[in-house]
């Protein structure tokens, strides 16, 4: 039985610096893009413009029903056969954005539908357009209601990006795997990755709880 090597553990951290930077970039970009796309999908699902409604429903079902790793393989290995060439980074951003948008759309839709109809009527009575009503009245209230489930989805997004290692994208998980192969020390190599993911996800949980309590008092 091998003894835990603090030297290997401590020396592995510099290797994770660029990986953390890349992972944070992926998390930030995919969260921003997927939230915008998810909001559009949710609005379409609620107001049901015929063709767009069926397209949005089909999109959501496809990406909610298939694993991220299959989507990665499809985009990475399949699209080049259609003449569409993308880098590993582009494939990773595309796959994670689309699957997160599909799951987040249903969360946002529930939040919008929880807003009482009188909010819409009051906004229209004040002369607000549909776009301004959604932007200034409905969506701010809806996002307050869905902070807990949306935070959970963001946590899944962060953890889900570990799958990007299968296309050799040098994020946190791929870096840990490469170090384990190089040093023959999987424990010391993967432990920093666990710490990094905990450092990224645990603050989200606590921030969510603080905001939830604050808005509950404000609402009361």
Mean per-residue pLDDT, 45-72? 92
**Distance from CA of residue 39 to its chain's centroid?**
13
- Report phi then psi at 191, rounded to 5: -60, -45
Counting the structural domains of the chain, the total is: 1
Encoded tokens for 60: 């959501």
What CATH number did the domain enclosing 142 receive?
1.10.3720.10
In a domain, 1, yes or no: no
Residues near 97 by Cβ (< 8 Å), separated by ≥ 6?
A: 29, 30, 33, 34, 37
What the block records as the tokens of 25 is 């970039």
Over 32-97, what HEC string results? HHHHHHHHHHHHHHHHCCHHHHHHHHHHHHHHHHCCHHHHHHHHHHHHHHHCCCCCHHHHHHHHHH
Mean pLDDT of the chain: 90
174 pLDDT above the threshold of 90: yes
Can you give the pLDDT at residue 220? 43
Contacts 24+ apart (CB under 8 A), 198-201: 200/23, 200/27, 200/158, 201/155, 201/158, 201/159
Pair 168, 174: CB distance under 8 Å: yes
Residue 203 is part of which domain span?
A: 6-219
- Identify the three-state secondary structure at position 128: coil
In a domain, 108, yes or no: yes
pLDDT digits (tens, 9 = 90+) for 79-115: 999 899 999 999 999 999 999 999 999 999 999 999 9
Distance (Å, whole) CA 8 – CA 129: 60
Please state the pTM of the whole predicted model: 0.89
H/E run at residue 16: helix 6-47
């Amino acid at each position: 039985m091998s003894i835990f090597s603090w030297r290997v553990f401590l020396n592995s951290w510099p290797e994770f610096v660029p990986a953390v930077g890349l992972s944070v970039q992926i998390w930030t970009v995919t969260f921003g893009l997927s939230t915008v796309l998810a909001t559009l999908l949710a609005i379409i699902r609620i107001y049901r413009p015929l063709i767009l409604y069926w397209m949005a429903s089909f999109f959501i079902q496809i990406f909610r029903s298939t694993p991220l790793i299959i989507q990665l393989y499809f985009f990475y290995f399949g699209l080049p056969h259609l003449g569409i060439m993308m880098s590993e980074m582009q494939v990773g951003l595309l796959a994670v954005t689309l699957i997160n948008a599909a799951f987040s759309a249903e969360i946002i839709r529930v939040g919008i539908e929880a807003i009482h109809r009188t909010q819409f009527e009051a906004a229209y009575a004040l002369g607000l357009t549909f776009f301004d009503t959604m932007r200034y009245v409905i969506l701010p209230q809806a996002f307050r209601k869905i902070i807990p489930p949306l935070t959970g989805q963001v946590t899944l997004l962060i953890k889900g990006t570990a799958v990007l290692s299968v296309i050799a994208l040098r994020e946190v998980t791929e870096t840990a795997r490469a170090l384990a192969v190089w040093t023959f020390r999987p424990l010391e190599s993967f432990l920093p990755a666990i710490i990094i993911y905990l450092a990224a996800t645990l603050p989200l949980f606590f921030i969510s709880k603080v905001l939830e309590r604050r808005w509950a008092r404000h609402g009361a």
